[in-house]
Structure formats: C-alpha cells, structure tokens
Amino acid sequence: MLRLASARTGGLVALAAIVAALPLFFPNNFYYDVAIKTALNAIVCIGLNLLIGYAGQISLGHAGFFALGGYASAILTARYGWPGLLAMLAGAVGVGLLAFAIARPVLRLRGHYLAMATLGLGIIVAIIINREIAITGGPDGMTVPRLWVGGWRVSGAVAWYWVAAGALLLAVWLSLNLIDSTLGRALRALHGSEIAAQTAGIDTTRYKVLVFVISAVFASLAGSLFAHAEGYVTPIEAGFLRSIEFVTMVVLGGMASTFGAVAGAAILTALPQLLTVFQDYKHLVLGAILIGVMIFMPNGLVPSVALSLRRLRPPVPAS
C-alpha cells in the first residue's frame, strides 16, 4: 500500500513535470495543437479505463458522449448565448443523465452484447448529429465560440495547452483517488469475480451504472473542451472509428492503469503525426507498432514496463 501510495504521488509529479517541460521542445503551434488533442483524448481514455480496465465492462460508444459534450457546448454557446462554462456543465449533466438512463438495460448485457449495445448508442448519436442540420449544422459541423473563463478569453494554442494540461492532471488525480478507495476496490472486485463481489455485499449493478456515468461525464467534458479549443465540431467526433480509437488507446497504454490510458492516448494521437515522415507507409508502420506492442506487451505499455522495472529491483523481504 505504501508502495502504491508512492507510485501514485511519483506518477502525478512526473506527469506534471513532463507537461510543464514539454512546451520547451515545441518549435511551433502545430506541436501545441497535437499536445492539446492528446490531453483531451487522454481525459476520455482515463474515464473509459475506469469502465473497461478497472470495472471490466466494454463500451464502443464513448465517442457519442464525447460528441454530445462538444455539441452541447457548441449549440448552447453559439445559438443560445450561454456562458461557456455553464454550457459545459449542462452538457456534462445531460450526458450523465443519458448515461444513467441507458446504463441499467445496457449493462445487464455482457461481452459482445454489451459491445453491440454501446456501439449502437454511438451510431445513433452520430446519425442524429448528421440529420439535425438546423441545430447541429449536419455533416459540415458548426463553429464554436471562444471560451470565456471569468473575464479571460481562452484563445491561442499556448493558452489552450495549459487549460488542457490542467484538465488532464485533474482527471488523472480524480481517477487515482477513485481507484484507491472503497469504491474503486468495489469496481475492481466486480471485474475480478462478480459473484464474490456480490457475496461481499457489493451491489454490482449500482457500481456498473456509476462507473458508466462517470466515464460518460469524463468524455463529455473532454468533448466540450475539444469543441472550444478547435473552434469547430463535426459529426466525425461521434463516429464509430473515434470510439474504436479511444478503446485502442486504453488497451495499448494498458488496462487498469490510469497512466497507461494517458500513454496510450499520447502515442496514438502523436505517433500518426510523427510518422508522416513515412508518407504513404504511415498507416502500415502504425499498424506494425500496434501489433508489436500487443504481441510483446499483451498487458499494455505501462503495466508491462512497470512489471519489468519491479523485476529489476531485488525483492523486499516481507516484514
């Protein structure tokens, strides 16, 4: 436990240091833009990892929640003149309620059926956004006004970098807090053995619903920030491929690892940009890297690296 606590603080400090130092290496705004997208994807992945990695439930529809957050911010600020933060909050509450309403029937399903149901959910959101042209702008998307925080207008890549980085650190902190608690242990327990969890008095349905709602709210908030940061949202953000991308990030970085979710998001957001040097072979190289990681590190990057580090150290005798 002590070991866990130090890994937790150490990880947070290290992440904060990386986030603070990164801009020193950014030659231009393009790098800031990639970093902002990375941080916002990572927030979705941290929430999704609570659902997939810790509680053992799959969702192939989280891009739907991400887009709903983004469009809630876009529509409420652009068409109704709401303050940005209030719109963001309203989006999160709305998405939370939607997730709560569908969680009970959906989470009764397991495995492939749960995957299908959440997949359907994401597709429905994408269809609605595409069709309701009068409100959402349809397939062309819509522009999003700048975000005002108090009297400060958040604009420019540098400002957004610090906002996204702050939100990321906050998300990591919340996730770490959640996991190392009675609640977090209940989530992990229902993943480990649902029957044993129930026998220990854990109302497993309630916890599944709770973690589904939490992960949806994380996605919604990231979506809102994304809409403001980009100044533009399109239905692509709700798409099936986007949902798959989020799940891939979680799996690549390492299931049941908050820092793994961040690493997965960082790699899959930044790598395609860095791989442009391979030009036409970009996707081939990306695919090879993904396959390689999954073959040689089936537990994902961060847990595998953590394990080999632990093996390097001499074992501590039990007290």
Partner 1 sequence: MSLLRVEGLSKLFGGVHAVAELSVAIEPGRIHSVIGPNGAGKTTLLNLVTGIYQPSQGRILMADEDVTALSTAARARRGVARTFQNLQIFFNMSAVENVMVGRHLHLSDRLVPTLLRLPSVMRANRAAQEKAVELMRFVGLAAYLDAEADAMPYGALKRLEIARAMASEPRLLLLDEPAAGLNPKETGEIDELIQKIARAGTTVVLVEHDMKLVMGVSDHILVLDYGRRLAEGTAAEIRANPDVIRAYLGTQAA
Contact residues for partner 1, defined by CB under 8 A: 1, 3, 174, 177-178, 180-186, 188-189, 191-193, 195-204, 210, 256, 316, 318-319
Nearer to partner 1, 140 or 203 (CB): 203
Nearer to partner 1, 130 or 205 (CB): 205
CB of 304 to partner 1, least distance (A): 15
Here the tokens at position 269 are 């957001």
Nearer to partner 1, 185 or 282 (CB): 185
Nearer to partner 1, 23 or 96 (CB): 96
Nearer to partner 1, 104 or 131 (CB): 104
Whose tokens are 């659902």? That residue is 51
CB of 149 to partner 1, least distance (A): 21
Supply φ then ψ for residue 191, to 5 degrees: -75, -45
Cα torsion angle, 100, 104, 106, 109, sign? positive
Nearer to partner 1, 33 or 180 (CB): 180
CB-based contacts of 97-100 (< 8 A; 24+ apart in sequence): 98/65, 98/68, 98/216, 99/65, 99/212, 99/213, 99/215, 99/216, 99/217, 100/209, 100/213
CB of 231 to partner 1, least distance (A): 30
CB of 216 to partner 1, least distance (A): 14
Nearer to partner 1, 199 or 276 (CB): 199
Distance CA 295, CA 87 (A): 43
Nearer to partner 1, 174 or 285 (CB): 174
CB of 205 to partner 1, least distance (A): 9
CB of 169 to partner 1, least distance (A): 14
CA distances from 193 to 49, 56, 189, 204, 318 (A): 18, 10, 6, 10, 27
CB of 100 to partner 1, least distance (A): 13
Distance CA 50, CA 184 (A): 9
Residue 214 CB-density burial (10 A; 0-12 exposed, 13-18 middle, 19+ buried): buried
Distance CA 26, CA 304 (A): 29
Nearer to partner 1, 28 or 182 (CB): 182
Helix (H) or strand (E) holding 233, with range, is strand 232-233
Helix (H) or strand (E) holding 205, with range, is helix 204-230
CB of 318 to partner 1, least distance (A): 5
Q: How far is CA 289 from the centre of its chain?
A: 21
CB of 182 to partner 1, least distance (A): 4
Here the tokens at position 131 are 């069709």
Distance CA 38, CA 196 (A): 38
